[in-house]
Amino acid sequence: MSLSLPFVHPLRLLALAGFITFGAAEAAAQQRGQSSDSVVARVDGHEIYASDVQDALSQLPPEYMNMPAEQLFRAVIEQLIDRQIVVRRARDQKLERDLDVQKTMKQLEARVLEQVYLRRMVEKKITDEAVARRYERDKAQLVREKKVRARHILVKTRDEAIAIMREISRGKDFAAMAKEKSIGPSGPQGGDLGFFTREQMVPAFSQMAFSLKKGEVARAPVQTQYGWHVIKVEDIQEAAPPTLAEVKDELRAKMGEELIEGEIKRLREGAKVERFGMDGKPLPPGEQAPAAGGR
């Protein structure tokens, strides 16, 4: 049975042109220079390599990764063959000389050069060691809020809540009581609300929950707009800095944004920029500065 990949149909050639993942395209180009990169197809003498397939696979949406590897591999090869056949036909018609094609290629070249330049600059400077240093520098500002994990039993009246609290004090299991009595959406899960910060709950609920110790059940029910709550705190996460592993991707992204902004600013300072109006005439000196929101 053949596999259809409509988004890489030959009529949508740019979907495999490589301007989603430039790093993969570079890696594929490097691999093509190695003897280990095997030829997987040949179209009128033009060779398609395993690295070309890997490049295309790296750009597929995640849902395709659940498909059998061999089936997906073969489907992509067929799409690359189709593309090469169409490209060959386009070259026969000298479309590479078409002004629209040349204009588009210049735009793509500029985009690729910009992104590869910035990516390489970021990869060179944002090492694991640099991220670790940034973590140590900013750790105090990265402190996570205190969180509690609580269960609750929501009922309509205070009397119902008091009756439930008496049963729990006599040894009834809180989670079982929540499944039986709670009218809240967390009832089927034993009233488990998971971890939450103080601001994530209504004030009256948070005030009680954050006053309890681990394993403690509130001594009085709490009223909110939803009804009456019997609350038990299961666990507490004290306010503390996150680990490096928890925030390294966030820090890396932030550092990358800062580096890119700084590099563009530096390059602008060394460039001569002249601005013109829509009519092609030079703008007055007072309007030569970047527009609001620009760099």
Neighbouring CB atoms inside 10 A of 63's CB total 7
Provide the pLDDT confidence category of residue 236 given band limits of 50, 70 and 90.
very high
Residue 102 has pLDDT above 80, yes or no: yes
In the 8-state DSSP scheme, what is residue 67?
Answer: S
For residue 158, give the CATH number of its domain.
3.10.50.40
Cα torsion through 236, 239, 243, 249, rounded to 10 = 110
Residues 164 and 281 in one domain: no
Q: What is the arithmetic mean of pLDDT over 4-26?
A: 39
For residues 233 and 196, give the distance between their C-alpha atoms in angstroms, rounded to a whole number.
11
For residues 229 and 220, give the distance between their C-alpha atoms in angstroms, rounded to a whole number.
9
Count of domains observed in the chain? 3
Residues 133 and 174 in one domain: no
Q: What is the arithmetic mean of pLDDT over 45-52?
A: 92
For residues 130 and 142, give the distance between their C-alpha atoms in angstroms, rounded to a whole number.
17
Q: What is the arithmetic mean of pLDDT over 168-191?
A: 96
List Cα–Cα distances, 120 to 108, 116, 125, 240, 271, in angstroms. 18, 6, 9, 34, 21
Residues 217 and 271 in one domain: no
Tokens 């705190």, residue? Answer: 233
Residues 177 and 227 in one domain: yes
Residue-range definition of the domain harbouring residue 176: 147-237
* pLDDT tens profile 189-227: 999 999 999 999 999 999 999 999 999 999 999 999 999
Cα angle 185-188-193, degrees, rounded to a multiple of 5: 60
Q: Please indicate, yes or no, whether the overall pTM of this predicted structure exceeds 0.75.
A: no
